[in-house]
Amino acid sequence: MNHQPWEVISELLQREDLPALDLYLQNLPSSETVRAVFRLTPNEQEKLLTLLPPESAADLIDDVPDSQAAELLDNLRPEEAASIVNAMDSDEAADVLAEMDREDVEEILNLMDADEAAEARQLIDFDPESAGGLMMKEFLSYAGSKSVADAVADVAAQGEEYPIYYLQHIFVVGALGRLLGVAGLTDIASAKPQTRLEELATPVDAVSASAGLDQLEEWFESRDTPLAPVVDDAGRLLGAIRRRAVFDAIAERADESYLKSQGIVGGDEFRSMPLYLRSGRRLSWLTVKIFLNLASASVIALYEGTLAAAFTLAVFLPIVSDMSGCSGYQAVAVSMRELALDIIRPADVVRVCLKEIALGLVTGIVLGLLLAGVAWLWKGNAWLGLVVGGALAVNTVIAVVIGGALPLLLKRMKIDPALAAGPVLTTITDTGGFFLVLSLATLVLPRLTA
């Protein structure tokens, strides 16, 4: 029988078989690793990170989205988190630490290697969407007065610490650390040992530490280089920024904008997060949205005197359908995000539905009570509040379950969820909202008109 990756990891954790666990994770694709970590319990996640060597735990943290990685580290003891952060690349470490509370960060930094901590503090102080916030400190730079022989000896001594493409860009600096240019490995290898590096340095374009994402995107799109030097206003070399880091940040910004447009506020949301946190993030927008819809509906109410007795229900019909649709779109957004990160797959549809039922009950009850209270206060009829509030609560549960499952079902049918999920969800929530309001009203009609 084939076991899922998280089941294998869970079993190895129970046996505390570190060699087998480390080997299994090394051979597991990064997308499978992320999905497996999300399926472990919080206790298993903590045990996994503490049992693995810091270098292996750092590799695992690198694969996880920053907000979730910060949550994983936050659940560890400061000394355990510090050992893992020490083993991470500086830019990745800064991204994760930036997601944590400053007090927790300082506690971790105080336990880290002094040089690593100083680099992390410098990076965290920059805007996270600027070159300074995205740059890394793992780069090679030498004074222009240094000889080729000295540089070669130093590279040979620490070359194993850097990926090969870092070594292809050796920056040369002058007085006060100002960037003079870059020296290629080929030029250094063919030069005489006594040649000074400033004689080999060729001018190179640099980016300002304050440059934003849009500027960085334009810079890299116009140049064929995987790495760029980052300088301050005085031209001093501060770090290096990877092309991949820039375009990853642009993609993350687009994801966040999409989530915000669907009412997911407060950062990324994943179904592994606590129910109270997910409910609070969604309700923070939905509770505002309900009153905005009431304001729109009040325009219709101006004509109440000219309509029949059933007119009051007509005021609440668009509110029930629209609010349920908003809740459904939030579930769609989270499913789209988790599909993109390969955290969930079409086969996970039942698990997604169960998660959304719990969340739908919380948001549905809260929103239903709010709308019921407004209806009761407005018309002084508790039965009217019961009808519209109950319809909203039930339709919200339906909407979030369908919204969470729809992208997975469409993906299985090889239909683009981004194109089809919206129209299908809108149709279902509108139809469901109208049916629930009108059918419930029919059952208690005498009490509504009394």
Length of the chain: 450
The pLDDT score that the predictor gives to residue 359 is: 93
Candidate from 175-179, 248-252, 277-281, 445-449 with smallest mean pLDDT = 277-281
Report the pLDDT averaged over residues 209-234. 91
Class in CATH terms, 263-449: mainly alpha
**pLDDT at 196 > cutoff 80:** yes
Report the pLDDT averaged over residues 289-314. 53
Candidate from 148-152, 311-315, 349-353 with smallest mean pLDDT = 311-315
C-alpha 31/C-alpha 341 separation (Å) is 7
Report the pLDDT averaged over residues 175-187. 87
Tokens in use for 66? Answer: 């920053």
**pLDDT at 313 > cutoff 60:** yes
| Domain map (residue ranges) of the chain | 5-125, 140-250, 263-449
Report the pLDDT averaged over residues 408-412. 87
The pLDDT score that the predictor gives to residue 379 is: 83
Using 50, 70 and 90 to split pLDDT, how confident is the model at 171?
Answer: very high
The beta-carbon contacts of 98-104 under 8 Å, at least 24 apart in sequence, are 98/66, 98/124, 98/128, 98/133, 99/66, 99/67, 99/69, 99/70, 99/267, 100/70, 100/73, 100/74, 101/74, 104/74, 104/78
Q: How far is CA 257 from the centre of its chain?
A: 11
The pLDDT score that the predictor gives to residue 322 is: 86
**pLDDT at 439 > cutoff 80:** no
The more confident residue out of 427 and 49 is 49
**pLDDT at 261 > cutoff 60:** no
The pLDDT score that the predictor gives to residue 277 is: 65
Contact 118, 108 (CB under 8 A): no
Contact 343, 368 (CB under 8 A): no
Report the pLDDT averaged over residues 155-170. 65
Supply the mean pLDDT for the chain. Answer: 82
Using 50, 70 and 90 to split pLDDT, how confident is the model at 208?
Answer: very high
Identify the CATH number of the domain defined by range 140-250.
3.10.580.10
Using 50, 70 and 90 to split pLDDT, how confident is the model at 305?
Answer: very low
β-pair partners for 212 = 130
C-alpha 83/C-alpha 85 separation (Å) is 6
Q: How far is CA 404 from the centre of its chain?
A: 17
The more confident residue out of 70 and 301 is 70
The pLDDT score that the predictor gives to residue 302 is: 45
Q: By three-state DSSP, how is residue 273 classified?
A: coil
The more confident residue out of 35 and 110 is 110
The pLDDT score that the predictor gives to residue 160 is: 61
Using 50, 70 and 90 to split pLDDT, how confident is the model at 284?
Answer: low
The pLDDT score that the predictor gives to residue 303 is: 38
DSSP per-residue codes, 290-346: HHHHHHHHHHHHTTGGGS-TTHHHHHHHHHHHHHHHHHHHHHHHHHHHHHHTTS--G
Sheet with 170-173, strands from edge to edge, namely 140-143, 170-173, 179-183
Sign for the pseudo-dihedral over CA of 211, 217, 223, 226: positive
Report the pLDDT averaged over residues 318-346. 85
Q: At 253, which amino acid appears? A: R
The pLDDT score that the predictor gives to residue 139 is: 84
Tokens in use for 22? Answer: 């480390």
Using 50, 70 and 90 to split pLDDT, how confident is the model at 300?
Answer: very low
The pLDDT score that the predictor gives to residue 264 is: 55
What tens digit of pLDDT does each residue of 128-152 get?
A: 889 999 998 888 889 999 998 888 8
The more confident residue out of 263 and 52 is 52
The structure's pTM equals: 0.63
The more confident residue out of 281 and 53 is 53
The pLDDT score that the predictor gives to residue 299 is: 43
- CATH T-level fold of 5-125: MgtE N-terminal fold (1.25.60)
Q: Select the highest-mean-pLDDT range: 87-91, 322-326, 366-370.
A: 366-370
